[in-house]
């Protein structure tokens, strides 16, 4: 079997050319293609590292903001509770003031009513005295049939009425 090239036959010249081509190919790849690929891989690694660091920083900042927000929320809740307490206190003070004002107004109305009643009572007593005096004068004039002057009669009756009012 000379000269026939089968599938499993080995040709040394061809193998040498394939080996030389492979070495040249690897050299060219190492010289020209490998540096940009390695640079791209290094850049990608750097970008990923920077992204992870940025994400960690952002996460830390988000946690800090979250803590600050919680603190602000707690502070707002405390202020809201204080405002509620102040509002209840103010409402109680206002209620107490209104009750006191109403009580004072009622007392004033009662005093005014008592003063009015007392004044009307005095006026009624004065009118009653006048009426009693007039009736007494008329009665005494009829009883005595005496001609006393009116001034004496008035004096006598006033003394009598004063004695009655003292008793």
Query: Is the pTM above the cut of 0.85?
Result: no
Q: Specify the residue for token string 């903001």.
A: 65
Q: Which helix (H) or strand (E) holds 149?
A: none
For residues 128 and 120, what is the distance between their CA atoms, to the nearest angstrom? 12
pLDDT in tens, 25-84: 999 999 998 999 999 999 999 999 999 999 999 999 999 999 999 999 999 999 999 999
Burial code of 46-82, b = ≥16 C-beta within 10 A, e = fewer?
eeeeeeeeeeeeeeeeeeeeeeeeeeeeeeeeeeeee
Q: Where are the domains of the chain?
A: 23-166
């Amino acid at each position: 079997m000379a000269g026939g090239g089968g599938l499993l036959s080995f040709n040394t010249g061809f193998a040498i050319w394939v080996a030389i081509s492979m070495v040249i190919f690897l050299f060219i790849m190492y010289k020209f293609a490998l540096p940009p690929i390695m640079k791209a891989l290094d850049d990608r690694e750097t970008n990923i590292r920077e992204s992870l660091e940025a994400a960690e920083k952002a996460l830390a900042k988000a946690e800090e903001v979250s803590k600050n927000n919680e603190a602000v929320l707690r502070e707002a809740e405390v202020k809201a509770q204080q405002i509620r307490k102040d509002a209840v206190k103010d409402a109680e003070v206002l209620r107490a003031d209104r009750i006191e004002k109403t009580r004072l107004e009622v007392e004033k109305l009662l005093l005014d009513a008592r003063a009015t009643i007392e004044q009307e009572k005095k006026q009624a007593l004065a009118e009653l005295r006048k009426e009693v005096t007039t009736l007494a004068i008329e009665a005494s004039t009829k009883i005595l049939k005496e001609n006393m002057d009116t001034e004496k009669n008035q004096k006598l009756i006033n003394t009598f009425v004063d004695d009655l009012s003292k008793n």
